[in-house]
């Protein structure tokens, strides 16, 4: 009889060990399922964040595109104005001249007359002056003088025009 008891005890122990291993596998599977759910939740959150980032990026790109389009339109308008000014400078007879505004004459008071402005000697040689006289158009003359090493002020004095007009002509020639 004791043999039956030993066999029953051995069977019970084997059954207990089997139950413990099944329980351990169940706990592992439950833990893996929980981790998988957490991973799915993280992936879902990341997906939503990426979608939000893409939406905000698209809005930003659209905004930048609109700003660039607006700037481009402004530049086109400014280019047209510059072309008109350039044409007025280069072909003054083709455009009507504005009427001069008469300023009121100041009362005559005796002031010492300033000394006459001294005429500065040109830095150009006679040959360069002769070559300059042959050129037509302010743009060509300005480029010629710049090639001879004159700065903006010296070119303005030589051609008797303003520095702003020189810059305008040079800027328009770049295009």
Residue pLDDT, tens place only, 24-50: 999 999 999 999 999 999 999 998 898
pLDDT of amino acid 94: 55
DSSP of the chain, one letter per residue?
-HHHHHHHHHHHHHHHHHHHHHHHHHHHHHHHHHHHHHHHHHHHHHHHHHHHHHHHHHHHHHHHHHHHHHHHHHHHHHHHHHHHHHHHHH-GGGSPPPPPPPPPPPPP---PPPPPPPPPPPSS-HHHHHHHHH--SHHHHHHHHHHTT--HHHHHHHHT--HHHHHHHHHHHH-
Residue pLDDT, tens place only, 121-174: 677 788 888 888 888 888 888 888 888 888 888 888 888 888 888 888 888 877
């Amino acid at each position: 009889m004791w043999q039956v008891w030993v066999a029953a005890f051995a069977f019970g122990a084997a059954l207990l060990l089997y139950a413990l291993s099944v329980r351990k596998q169940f706990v592992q599977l439950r833990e893996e399922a929980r981790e998988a759910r957490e991973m799915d939740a993280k992936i879902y959150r990341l997906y939503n964040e990426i979608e939000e980032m893409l939406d905000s990026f698209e809005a930003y790109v659209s905004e930048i595109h609109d700003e660039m389009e607006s700037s481009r339109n402004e530049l086109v308008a400014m280019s047209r104005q510059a072309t008109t000014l350039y044409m007025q400078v280069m072909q003054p007879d083709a455009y009507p001249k504005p009427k001069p505004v008469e300023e009121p004459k100041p009362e005559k008071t005796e002031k010492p007359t300033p000394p006459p402005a001294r005429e500065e000697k040109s830095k150009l040689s006679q040959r360069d002056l002769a070559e300059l006289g042959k050129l037509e158009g302010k743009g060509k003359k300005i480029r010629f003088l710049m090639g001879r090493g004159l700065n903006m002020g010296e070119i303005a004095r030589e051609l008797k025009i303003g520095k702003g007009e020189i810059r305008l002509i040079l800027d328009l020639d770049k295009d």
